[in-house]
């Protein structure tokens, strides 16, 4: 069985790395890896950590690229790779434009697609934008759906996806997380080495979503600034996404402030260990809503909705929205009310047990022959 795995951004790389490692180690599988490099430096950090060497690198990233540019460049690049490799199945992940464009390119060549992290929905097509639509469309192209949770499976069933094509596997992010989180851990990065984790309360912040750029990001950052001004025992650590628009906003609202550390994107291992030593996490990231609960860290999600309701149900994640006052108040409550903090700060694992990759490989072995034969018939 020849499996072509394709990804392009940091979060996809983190979540697909353990799967590519497992595919490569399996003697029954020929594993081929293609990166689109929708991200460059942030992708390369992950490839390096997990010791992955892609067979193909489309190298498409351009500063301030538009979604249309990503989509067309990925499709054109993937057309050639798919023709050359002719895999039995193509694996894509989640909701990025790399994911959707690759799935569409594979469909045009009648090559079956397996969708990892399938079935998450906000039911609002503009939030996250354009990811919600990328994920829905990929779901309708894919032959096999690897859903992290039962809720994700139900979302797919409600859209008419056949139950025998859905596999509830857990999220591969937990597989990745468990390989890098360490106790004790020594930071080598200057800012992190100097933080007094014993006596300070660290808030890890990230924020990058396209729909938050502009007004929302300004509100989020002003709330965070107010918290840093008010609480002298709080240190804010914010590894800023490389998107130039995010960099500019972060510097404008949070730059040169005591107790706020704007730093370069961290390698996955120090980042996870930073979260593990933080008091709380404020983010609009998808992946961190899955990782932080597994580490027992409260998360305030600075978005209007989430496609990851499981951790809200489990109590470790709260939706804070994008209103400055609400974000400030919710953060303040967690800093001043031990009972409210205690209710959120417990480790839960709604997203898996670290065995998602093995489940995906088992499902591939039992189904790929049939879906590949079906696709072959349609080529006649």
Query: Residues interacting with ligand UDP, by CB under 6 A?
Result: 10-11, 14, 206, 208, 239, 265-266, 268, 271-272, 285-288, 291
Q: Retrieve residue 283's tokens.
A: 């983010």
Residue 240 · residue 263 · CB < 8 Å? yes
Concerning whether 41 is annotated as a catalytic residue, the answer is no
Question: Using CB under 6 A as the criterion, what x/- string covers residues 186-225 for binding ligand UD1?
Answer: ----------------------x-x---------------
d(CA 309, CA 321): 14
Tokens of 198: 């014993």
10 Å Cβ neighbour count for 177?
A: 26
Nearer to ligand UDP, 174 or 327 (CB): 174
- In whole angstroms, give the CA distance from residue 182 to residue 125: 38
The least distance separating ligand UDP from the CB of residue 212, rounded to whole angstroms, comes to 11
| Residue 210 designated active-site | yes
Q: Does 209 participate in catalysis according to the annotation?
A: no
Site string for ligand UD1, 265-294 (x = CB under 6 A): ------------------------------
Residues 232, 277: Cα–Cα separation, whole Å: 18
Cβ neighbourhood burial of 78 (10 Å; 0-12, 13-18, 19+): buried
Of the candidate residues 59, 108, 244, 325, the single one contacting ligand UD1 (CB under 6 A): 244
Residue 306, interface with ligand UD1 (CB under 6 A)? Answer: no
Per-residue x/- marks for ligand UD1, 71-110, CB under 6 A? Answer: ------------------------xxx-------------
- Choose the one of ligand UD1, ligand UDP, none that binds residue 38, judging by a C-beta under 5 to 8 angstroms depending on kind: ligand UD1
Other beta carbons within 10 angstroms of residue 64's beta carbon come to 8
Least distance from C-beta 197 to ligand UD1, angstroms?
26
Q: Min. distance of Cβ 104 from ligand UD1 in angstroms? A: 14
The CB-of-241 to ligand UDP minimum distance in angstroms stands at 6
Query: Which two tokens mark 247?
Result: 């960099």
Which is the catalytic residue, given 241, 277, 303, 359?
241
Q: Residue 261 catalytic?
A: no
CB 305 within 8 A of CB 324: no
> 244: which residues sit within 8 A by CB, 6+ positions away?
63, 64
Cα–Cα distance between 187 and 189 in angstroms, integer? 6
Q: Is 95 a catalytic residue?
A: yes
Out of 17, 32, 42, 89, name the contact with ligand UD1 by CB under 6 A. 42
Distance of CA 357 to the CA centre of its chain: 16
CA distances from 341 to 315, 317, 370 (A): 11, 11, 50
65 binds, among ligand UDP, ligand UD1, none (CB under 5 to 8 A by kind): ligand UD1
Active site residue 241: yes
Catalytic residue numbers, as ranges? 95, 117, 131, 208, 210, 241
């Amino acid at each position: 069985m020849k499996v072509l795995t394709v990804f392009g951004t940091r979060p996809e790389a983190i979540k697909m790395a353990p799967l590519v490692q497992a595919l490569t180690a399996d003697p029954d599988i020929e594993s081929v890896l293609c990166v689109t490099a929708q991200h460059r430096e942030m992708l390369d950090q992950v490839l390096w950590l997990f010791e992955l060497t892609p067979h193909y690198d489309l190298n498409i990233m351009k500063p301030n690229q538009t979604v249309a540019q990503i989509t067309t460049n990925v499709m054109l690049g993937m057309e050639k790779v798919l023709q050359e490799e002719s895999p039995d199945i193509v694996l894509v992940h989640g909701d990025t434009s790399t994911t959707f464009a690759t799935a569409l390119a594979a469909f045009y060549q009648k090559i079956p697609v397996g969708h990892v992290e399938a079935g998450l929905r906000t039911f609002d097509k503009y939030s996250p934008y354009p990811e919600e639509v990328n994920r829905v469309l990929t779901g309708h192209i894919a032959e096999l759906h690897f859903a992290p949770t039962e809720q994700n499976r139900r979302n797919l069933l409600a859209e008419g996806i056949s139950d025998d094509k859905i596999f509830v596997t857990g999220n591969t992010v937990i597989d990745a997380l468990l390989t890098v989180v360490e106790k004790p851990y020594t930071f080598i990065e200057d800012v992190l080495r100097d933080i007094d984790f014993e006596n300070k309360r660290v808030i890890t912040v990230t924020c990058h979503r396209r729909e938050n750029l502009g007004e929302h990001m300004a509100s989020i950052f002003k709330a965070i600034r107010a918290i840093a001004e008010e609480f002298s025992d709080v240190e804010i650590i914010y590894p800023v996404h490389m998107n130039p628009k995010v960099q500019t906003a972060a510097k404008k609202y949070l730059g040169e402030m005591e107790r706020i550390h704007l730093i370069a994107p961290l390698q996955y291992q120090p980042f996870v260990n930073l979260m593990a030593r933080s008091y709380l996490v404020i983010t609009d990231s998808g992946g961190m809503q899955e990782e932080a609960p597994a580490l027992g860290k409260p998360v305030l999600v600075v978005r209007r909705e989430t496609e990851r309701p499981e951790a809200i149900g489990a109590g470790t994640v709260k939706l804070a929205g994008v209103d400055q006052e609400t974000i400030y108040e919710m953060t303040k409550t967690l800093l001043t009310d031990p009972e409210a903090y205690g209710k959120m700060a417990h480790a839960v694992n709604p997203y898996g047990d670290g065995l998602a990759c093995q489940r995906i490989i088992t499902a591939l072995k039992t189904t790929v022959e049939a879906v590949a034969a079906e696709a072959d018939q349609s080529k006649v």
